[in-house]
Amino acid sequence: MELSFEPLTPVSFLDRAAAAHGDRVAVVDGDRRFSYGQLHERCRRLAGALAPLAAGRPVAVLAPNTHVLLEAHFGVPWAGVPLVAINTRLAAAEIAYILEHSRASVLVHDPVFDVVVAEAVAGLADPPLLVPVGERYEELLAVATPQAVTPADERALLSVNYTSGTTGRPKGVMYHHRGAYLQALAMAAHTGLSPSAVHLWTLPMFHCNGWCFPWAVTAAAGTHVCLPKVEPEEVWRLIREEGVTHLEGAPTVLSMIAYAAAAAPLERTVRVATGGAPPTPAILRRMGELGFDVTHLYGLTETFGPAMICDWRPEWNGLDAADQARLKARQGVGNMIACRARVVGPDGGDVPADGATIGEIALRGNNVMLGYLHDPEATAAAAPDGWFRTGDLGVLHPDGYVELRDRSKDVIISGGENIASVEVEQVLADHPAVLEAAVVAAPDDRWGEVPVAYVTLHEGASATADELQEHVRGRLARFKAPKAVVFGPLPKTSTGKIQKYVLRQRTAGSRG
């Protein structure tokens, strides 16, 4: 026996929080409040209830951001099985695929999903045991014998997170205990979590296990404030009444908060982490005016969420607002537990750190997945040389910070010239009338492809297509200006990301 070694697992953070802060509030979920001592007991009872039902197979959970999904992040691993947190906006066929592919033994689900769950399991040859949240769930906890199984191998399977599946079937990304433990510590450190932190769940817990924040907030013994649905007025109420200090979300979530009717400058700073797309300088300025301190993070499902952070340097504090916003929009550097992020060319070698040469962002470290469940070929292709290829194109600046230029599939090639859709989107978003913008390629007989912009305006604001096109031409090369502008709401994922593939299909369809 090695006396100085303990396998790393993020569920151990709850043991420590209960021992050191057992009497303090751990969870606020509507009218319900649990101390860390109570949360610890509930999670151990959940483990005891699930272990015999799961029989070594994964447990799936379909629930919004409530105490149930938070408890599952501890109780399911303590039952000795992997957690499969399912996207709450999926259709029945997609849920059925995930349940079948993961071989889930049990599905814990919120009653709001009763209909879709019934449809999902109807055609399965080996359906999971259904545990509805409410009386049945509480009965299981009440009669269970508490238990807490810890892994002998810290690289054992902790959870399976399914990708969005925008091109083909979703892949099951496998997380290990070691990676989640270290990633949680990185998130706690980079965002300044502490026992005085009050964390609002604006980020879906099913998304990359909430970027590992269920474990990070618990490691710091902060308070989890649950939020089943992101409604701007409710966000502002909770910020004020619960004393929220931290939250996360995609830039679209930040827009909802920043331009809500209840928005007003805060009396204290609220730390915000954003990712999923580069935040525009416009939204960064607006959030700053309201008192939010925004940090830009970057990552993927395959990297336990944020693998990179735009680490703010104190010497940048003296720059003007425009320069600060430009720097904050960069993806930054590897987080403290990751390897140095690379930008590589087609030959696999590093591109020059000149801020201009474009390559693919490649990542490595303890916060990279074990692989894709039941898919060794895709796993091997994802990291051909031990470095995970993200599919994102970027540049490396002389100061070592990476800046995303586009997804490889989102680059518009017009007349042989590359147009970065992100660049055009940021210029559009800087127009005072524009709330959000997305730019995609449309086929063109002469140029091959041309940019088309989809734009949502601020409530009460007005702008014409000609006006926005001229706005872009005044900032960028004329060929980068959108050839058409379509006004209206933008399609989004459950995590707030704009679904460009939907817009590409819409654009192609409009020409057909």
Q: CATH no. for residue 123?
A: 3.40.50.12780
Q: What pLDDT is recorded for position 3? A: 76
Q: What pLDDT is recorded for position 169? A: 81
Q: Has residue 306 been placed in a domain?
A: no
Taking alpha carbons only, the member of 402, 394, 182, 172 closest to residue 301 is 172
Q: Please check whether residue 201 is in contact with residue 233, taking contact to mean a CB–CB distance below 8 angstroms.
A: no
Tokens of 150: 């810890």
Cα–Cα distance between 464 and 457 in angstroms, integer? 10
Q: Has residue 293 been placed in a domain?
A: no
Taking alpha carbons only, the member of 94, 90, 54, 88 closest to residue 68 is 88
Taking alpha carbons only, the member of 401, 368, 400, 393 closest to residue 382 is 368
Q: Has residue 183 been placed in a domain?
A: yes
Q: What pLDDT is recorded for position 416? A: 64
Q: Are residues 403 and 418 in the same domain?
A: no
User: Quick one: DSSP state of residue 478?
Assistant: G
CATH number, domain of 395, equals 2.30.38.10
Q: What pLDDT is recorded for position 512? A: 40
User: Rounded to 5 degrees, what are φ and ψ at 139?
Assistant: -65, -40
Q: Determine the 3-state secondary structure of 215 from DSSP.
A: helix
Q: Has residue 271 been placed in a domain?
A: no
Q: What pLDDT is recorded for position 1? A: 58
Q: Has residue 98 been placed in a domain?
A: yes
Q: Has residue 103 been placed in a domain?
A: yes
Tokens of 268: 């204290």
Cα–Cα distance between 315 and 133 in angstroms, integer? 50
Q: Are residues 480 and 357 in the same domain?
A: no
Cα–Cα distance between 310 and 402 in angstroms, integer? 9
pTM above 0.75, yes or no: yes
Q: Which helix (H) or strand (E) holds 406?
A: strand 402-407
Q: Please check whether residue 131 is in contact with residue 140, taking contact to mean a CB–CB distance below 8 angstroms.
A: yes
pLDDT in tens, 211-242: 999 999 999 999 999 999 999 999 999 999 99
Q: Percentage of residues in the chain with pLDDT exceeding 70?
A: 98
Q: Are residues 354 and 442 in the same domain?
A: no
CB atoms within 10 A of CB 168: 7
Cα–Cα distance between 17 and 364 in angstroms, integer? 30
Confidence of residue 4 (pLDDT cuts 50, 70, 90): confident
Q: Please check whether residue 44 is in contact with residue 69, taking contact to mean a CB–CB distance below 8 angstroms.
A: no
pLDDT at 413 over 90: no
Token match 């009386």: residue? 135
Confidence of residue 208 (pLDDT cuts 50, 70, 90): very high
Number of independent structural domains in the chain: 3
Of the listed ranges 346-350, 416-420, 487-491, the least confidently predicted one is 416-420
pLDDT at 406 over 90: no
CB atoms within 10 A of CB 93: 11
pLDDT at 410 over 90: no
Cβ partners under 8 Å of residue 286, min gap 6 = 258, 259
Cβ partners under 8 Å of residue 357, min gap 6 = 343, 345, 351, 395, 396
Q: Count how many residues are written for the chain.
A: 512
pLDDT in tens, 335-388: 999 999 999 999 999 999 999 999 999 999 999 999 999 999 999 999 999 999
Q: Has residue 433 been placed in a domain?
A: yes
Cα–Cα distance between 319 and 335 in angstroms, integer? 24
Buried b (16+ CB within 10 A) or exposed e, 228-241: bebebeebbebbee
Q: Are residues 401 and 499 in the same domain?
A: no
Q: What pLDDT is recorded for position 135? A: 97
Q: Are residues 128 and 221 in the same domain?
A: yes
Q: Which helix (H) or strand (E) holds 74?
A: helix 67-78
What average pLDDT is seen over the chain?
Answer: 93
Cα–Cα distance between 188 and 177 in angstroms, integer? 17
DSSP string, 28-61: EETTEEEEHHHHHHHHHHHHHHHHHHHTTS-EEE
Last-in-domain residue among 407, 423, 455: 407
Q: Are residues 399 and 505 in the same domain?
A: no
CATH number, domain of 429, equals 3.30.300.30
Domain that holds residue 492: 411-511
Of the listed ranges 149-153, 233-237, 373-377, 501-505, the least confidently predicted one is 501-505
Confidence of residue 252 (pLDDT cuts 50, 70, 90): confident
pLDDT at 12 over 70: yes
Considering only CA atoms, give the Rg of the chain: 23
Q: Are residues 446 and 484 in the same domain?
A: yes
Q: Has residue 79 been placed in a domain?
A: yes
Q: What pLDDT is recorded for position 165? A: 55
Section 462-491 average pLDDT: 93
pLDDT in tens, 64-98: 999 999 999 999 999 999 999 999 988 898 899 99
Q: Are residues 53 and 178 in the same domain?
A: yes
pLDDT at 295 over 90: yes
Q: Are residues 83 and 129 in the same domain?
A: yes
Cα–Cα distance between 244 and 502 in angstroms, integer? 35
Confidence of residue 510 (pLDDT cuts 50, 70, 90): low
Q: Are residues 461 and 504 in the same domain?
A: yes
Last-in-domain residue among 195, 229, 263: 229
Tokens of 123: 């055609």
Q: Are residues 212 and 64 in the same domain?
A: yes
Q: Which helix (H) or strand (E) holds 198?
A: strand 198-200
Q: What pLDDT is recorded for position 167? A: 46
Last-in-domain residue among 229, 257, 292: 229
Q: Determine the 3-state secondary structure of 107 from DSSP.
A: strand
Q: Are residues 91 and 214 in the same domain?
A: yes
To the nearest 5 percent, what fractions of the chain are helix, strand and coil? 35, 25, 40
Q: What pLDDT is recorded for position 49? A: 98
pLDDT at 63 over 60: yes
